Chain A
Amino acid sequence: MPRETTMDKSKMVVVEGSYAVAHSVKVCRPNVISAYPITPQTHIVEDLSQFMADGEIPKCEYINVESEFSALSALVGSSAVGARSYSATTSQGLELMHEVLFNVSGMRLPIVMTVANRAVSAPISIWNDQQDSIAQRDTGWIQLYAENIQEASDMTAQLFKISEDKDIMMPSMACMDGFILSHVYEPVVLLEQDITDEFLPSFDPERTLDPSNPLTFGAFADPNYYTEFRYLQEQAMQTALKKIETVADEFSDMYGRYFGGLIDEYQTEDADIIIMAMGSIVGTIKDVIDRLRENNVKVGLLKVRAFRPFPAEAIKNVIKDAKVVVVLDKNISLGINAGALFIETKSVLYNTDIDVPVTGYMIGHGGRDIPTSTIDKIIDDAKEIMKSGIKTESQFTDLKEELV
């Protein structure tokens, strides 16, 4: 059953999304923060620098590195000596980290990083879509996508807890839509220090670089061993599936807020049409659903919160009785004319007895606005599919034909 979140209005403050995230990082008591500026991530590391300058983050080292590549590389070292380690990035910065991302997950270092999602170049674009983090989907990082500022903020503490679990030890990305969430002011409840201290124990890894017990990290593995390392990483991801849900529940019990575990549902129980989406767009979709429900259109929303690990079972359970599933993607896997969530969703339905039409829309690239009228149009298409079946599996929305 979908769960309502209760917000204590007396505790609410109106802050920028980046500030809320930076505040969360602060109360998670990080030991090392590395920072390199890139829009629209910058406000997060700026706020963290100010906290440092004001002495508000004790027992923490802040490294102003010379590139995103070194931002993550420095955290490889700090995490390996047992320091809770954090950075934030976006777009080209995340792509520059690509090689290090594999390295971090391969060495099982539970680094947490906020990604203020942004389009990738060329052409250069500073505005939001989710191509940057989706392009990193195979690097072995847990990826959660936030619906709003409150969730982006709360997710930070949840991810430290998930990543640092001894049975998981995998790094994670808290993905929030750039500008749409990072630069917007909303009323939120900031994480309280005392509750967070209780929720998130200090980082106590079983293995560290320590001269009193010398260990070798990052050895090379020949074909006799390499496969087993990959297998164990996948096992950890599967373990994380359960942990993401457990931690969301624990968080809800302590803070009173719940934004879903692997997924969240809105009006799905009797829905003929189910829209699947990730990130801030789900807020827009909820508004459209509220309006359409008044007119008895049976439409619901499946918010995908965890993209890695991919919540195959949870998704199957929700969409199995729908008549049409519509998947929205703020990304494209070039060469197959579809977005990643669409491809994954279709893939998990194969070899099952679930026979529901799935259609995909690539939407909101490079910061293009997604008005409610676009969602309306997509739902109209879905109604048509219920009658006459799928004609186009996946397509761009709001394409300006005159420009191509």
Chain B
Amino acid sequence: MNQISLLAPGHSGCAGCCDAMAAKFTLMGAGDNCIVVSPTGCLEVMTTPYPETSWDVPWIHSLFENAGAVASGIEAGLKALGKKEKTKVIAMGGDGATLDIGLQAISGAFERGHDFTYVCIDNEAYMNTGVQRSGATPYNASTTTSPAGKVSFGNPRPKKNMPAIIAAHGSPYVATTSLAYPKDMIAKVKKATEIEGPTYIHCHAPCTTGWGFDTSKTVEVAKMAVKTGLWPLYEMENGVVTKVRKLGKVKAPVEDYLKMQRRFKHLFTMEGGEEEIAKIQDIANMNIEEYGL
């Protein structure tokens, strides 16, 4: 089985697209015996322009907000027809579809305990419609609906803690990962899809277009989020953190991460920007302490 071919080349994603990488790694972890549901988003648009498709596994798009429910139905249908044993069910959607509009359907699916894996490809805004803020947009990021301006540093709220929300549903397995660490992601997806019950992978996925960095730097930017402590990589089993990827003694300052991206550019030019950067450093420091990075 050539796992790489499960997401065929030739999609219409941007150069350096995070979704393409995250989807490819997800399928490498899950294998070919799966059914994928994707809510509305870049991934759906760039891979399925009728009559073409990039998917070498069965794939369905329904609506923006119902991937959790559609996955529930796929699982229930397979069970009823006696086909569930051998087939994995995966939902794969962006942060808007996951943390915002689709949260209810995901919550329902996890509470009911359907056997499927949800993969959130988190590029921290509504990229498909022009970089508007979502519940996953980090503190002080400038987006088209939370722009930096004369009296604003951008998004005024920190990211919603989606892995914790899912863990609170009693999920047997929740993990964070990053597309910069393919082996980490593939292994976690594999583990998630092999565990019975609703499991969750939250993948940090820098978007070259929305964040404003060179198309060759996706992996570099993603790595820096991890190295600063802003995106800790960990696993939770039955609500308890069981494994953390340590950073070692030399941790990068958040400044190194922020200055790589246009969405934080204002922090380096506006008056009071230094204090704001310090607040972001505090967020990283809290993660470092909480997860023992």
Listed in ascending order, the chain A residues whose CB lies under 8 Å from chain B are: 31-32, 34, 59-61, 63-67, 69-70, 73-83, 85, 99-100, 103, 107, 208-211, 213-222, 225
Contacts and interface: CB of A to CB of B under 8 A. Distances in A.
Contact of B108 (A67, A213, A220): A67
B71 interface: yes
Contact of A220 (B44, B66, B105): B44
Interface in B45-90: 45, 48-51, 53, 55-63, 65-66, 68-83, 87
Contacts of B72: 63, 65, 70, 74, 77
Contact of A78 (B34, B59, B74): B74
B216 interface: no
Contacts of B78: 81, 83
B77 A103 contact: no
Interface of chain B, helix or strand or loop or mixed?
A: mixed
A128 B83 CA distance: 41
A34 B104 CA distance: 16
Given A77-B69, A83-B81, A218-B62, 13 more contacts: A31-B77, A32-B76, A61-B76, A63-B72, A66-B105, A67-B108, A70-B68, A76-B69, A77-B74, A85-B77, A100-B62, A103-B62, A211-B32
29 contacts: A31-B77, A31-B81, A59-B80, A61-B76, A61-B79, A65-B108, A65-B112, A66-B111, A67-B108, A70-B104, A73-B63, A74-B70, A77-B70, A77-B71, A78-B76, A79-B73, A82-B77, A82-B81, A83-B76, A83-B77, A103-B62, A103-B63, A107-B62, A210-B58, A214-B56, A215-B58, A216-B48, A217-B58, A219-B49
B71 to A, nearest CB: 6
Contacts of A78: 73-74, 76-77, 80
B62 A73 contact: yes
B60 A217 contact: yes
Interface centre among A31, A73, A220, by most B CB within 10 Å? A73
Top 4 A-B pairs, shortest CB-CB distance? A77-B73, A66-B108, A78-B77, A74-B73
A73 B75 CA distance: 13
Interface of B: 32-35, 37, 44-45, 48-51, 53, 55-63, 65-66, 68-83, 87, 104-105, 107-108, 111-112
B33 A219 contact: no
Contacts of A99: 63
Given A220-B50, A221-B50, A225-B51, A77 B37 contact: yes
Contacts of B76: 32, 61, 63, 74, 77-78, 83
Contacts of A63: 72-73, 76, 112
B80 A60 contact: yes
A69 B34 contact: no
Contacts of A70: 66, 68-69, 72, 104-105, 108
Interface centre among B34, B55, B61, B78, by most A CB within 10 Å? B78
A60 B77 CA distance: 8
Contact of B80 (A32, A66, A211): A32
Nearest to A59: B80
Contacts of A32: 73, 76-77, 80
Given A69-B65, A76-B66, A214-B56, A64 B112 contact: yes
B53 A69 contact: no
A76 B98 CA distance: 19
Given A77-B72, A211-B34, A219 B61 contact: yes
B57 A211 contact: yes
Contacts of A76: 60, 62, 66, 69-70, 73
B115 to A, nearest CB: 12
Contact of A216 (B59, B68, B77, B81): B59
A222 B12 CA distance: 14
Given A79-B77, A100-B63, A209 B51 contact: no
B73 A222 contact: no
Contacts of B82: 59
B77 A81 contact: yes
Given A215-B58, A218-B60, A219-B53, A73 B80 contact: no
A69 B105 CA distance: 8
A210 B58 CA distance: 6
A67 B103 CA distance: 12
Interface centre among B33, B50, B105, by most A CB within 10 Å? B50
Nearest to B53: A216
Contacts of B45: 220
B141 to A, nearest CB: 28
Contacts of A216: 48, 53, 55, 58-60
Contact of B77 (A77, A107, A215, A220): A77
B81 A209 contact: no
Contacts of B44: 220
Nearest to B72: A74
Contact of A225 (B50, B53, B107): B50
Contacts of A65: 69, 72, 108, 112
B78 to A, nearest CB: 6
A180 to B, nearest CB: 31
